[in-house]
Amino acid sequence: MKLKIIITAPARLEIAEAVKYYEERRPSAGVKFWIEFKVLAKRLRNFPELYSPFGKRGIRKAPMQGYPHTVYYRIAGEELRILGVVDGAMNPETIKSRFG
């Protein structure tokens, strides 16, 4: 089952911030982050149930390989909604209140 990927506004902002952060530290590092995100998004589109639900609202979390970020997403009908791309340094209580 291939789902349509929808990236929410908060997730788009978090991706942009991460790309900017990595790009400022090393040229092309932001591009590599973006590529890794796209690879993970494609994997999620093809295998949406690869990761277990997190919390009570059917939200799932998928780690990004090579980065301390986690992608939070939900399967909604024929859509895969990416809700957030969160740095692992974020306060766990903030993550829980937002996605749990």
Enclosing domain of residue 50: 4-99
As a whole number, mean pLDDT of residues 86-92 equals: 87
The band of 2, judged by pLDDT with boundaries at 50, 70 and 90, is confident
Query: 54: which strand partners?
Result: 59
User: CA–CA separation, 99 vs 13, rounded Å?
Assistant: 16
Q: Where is 87: in which H helix or E strand?
A: strand 79-87
Answer whether 71's CB lies under 8 Å from 88's CB.
no
User: CA–CA separation, 75 vs 63, rounded Å?
Assistant: 17
Q: What number of other Cβ atoms are within 10 A of residue 71's Cβ?
A: 23
Q: Total domain count for the chain?
A: 1
- Please write the tens of the pLDDT for every residue from 15-68: 999 999 999 999 899 999 999 999 999 999 999 999 989 878 899 999 999 999
CATH value at residue 88: 3.30.2310.20
